[in-house]
Amino acid sequence: MGSALTTIGLPVALGIIMFGLGLSLTPRDFARVATQPKAVFVALGCQLLLLPVLCFGLVILFQLPPILAVGMMMLAASPGGTTANLYSHLFRGDIALNISLTALNSVIAVVTLPLITNFAIWYFDPFDDQLGLQWAKTLEVFAIVLLPVIGGMIVRRLWPRFADGMDRPVRIISVVVLVVVIAGAVAANWALLVENAGRLALITVVFCVLSLSIGYLVPRLVRVGRRQAIASSFEIGIHNATLAIVIAQTVLGSVELSLPAAVYGVLMFFIAFGFGFLIRGRTDARRDDEGSAVDASDAGGARA
């Protein structure tokens, strides 16, 4: 198992991140489902149903060892990360939808993450003496995921000005703590990471590209708005890899199990950035074409 830096530092870092998420949430963010139910349910369907099936197929295709296969499935079951909001802002997505999806996903993951993890442990059987996330460990997942969010929401409810003022500092602190802890974890497990990085790099890249693509294309196919599709894409493609790492190392006690999330957590930011420019480029080109068509029709009307 990892050092004290990872066993204590990682949960603390995740707690700060989830507390920061809670500081930005109000009950309206959950109620927003009623105002745009189609976008929410399509995104959740992709996240909760398509991604685990897709990941399972990739794991079989790439013939990953059992321990890494379970790690990939745990990653697929992790909710969207709060960084999705930043990417959505950069590439003109619906940030309000991102916030709602992150909130809903974080709540739903308390149920779905143990279910999918237990299925993967049962199917791939990486452990000889461990049955999976039993009730006590599922409660640990609940505590890790939801309690800091609830705490942040309570603070926002009671002291809204304080919550607004703390939003930026908490984000900065969470990033600094997370970088320090992950750097320490990488240094402590460098040989293990290097040994497995080669076999994990391709599958994590493919999974990230497919996640982003599904998150954008499926909503567009069912006529969800473009800004909502962009939000859905980043919500589905940018997983909370830190959560998967924390559960793997502190709840299940396996550094190896956390490797897929560790590799994905580094690569997804670059892939999502490139994907954002790709869909923005297509959107800008479409807007130019529409603008040219309008100009031409206006010119024709003027001549007439």
Residue 296 pLDDT > 50: no
CA 56 to chain centre: 17
Domains of the chain: 4-287 (1.20.1530.20)
Q: What is the rounded distance in angstroms from the CA atom of residue 272 to the CA atom of residue 113? A: 23
Residue 204's pLDDT band (cuts 50, 70, 90)? very high
How much of the chain exceeds pLDDT 70, in percent? 77
Closest CA to 254 of 135, 76, 129: 129
Q: Which residues pair with 80 in a beta bridge?
A: 239
Question: Residue 262 in contact with residue 242, Cβ under 8 Å?
Answer: no
In this prediction, residue 304 carries a pLDDT of 43
The structure tokens 């296969």 sit at 69
What tokens were used for 1?
């198992």
Q: What is the rounded distance in angstroms from the CA atom of residue 78 to the CA atom of residue 72? A: 10
Residue 181 pLDDT > 80: no
Kindly report the CA angle at 249 between 244 and 252, in degrees rounded to 5? 90
What residues contact residue 74 under an 8 Å CB cut-off, 6+ apart?
Answer: 113, 116, 117, 120, 244, 247, 248, 257, 260, 261
Residue 292's pLDDT band (cuts 50, 70, 90)? very low
In this prediction, residues 107-136 reach a mean pLDDT of: 77
In what helix (H) or strand (E) does residue 229 lie, and over which residues does it extend? helix 226-237
In this prediction, residues 125-134 reach a mean pLDDT of: 62
Q: What is the pLDDT of residues 143-155, one digit of tens each?
A: 777 788 888 888 8
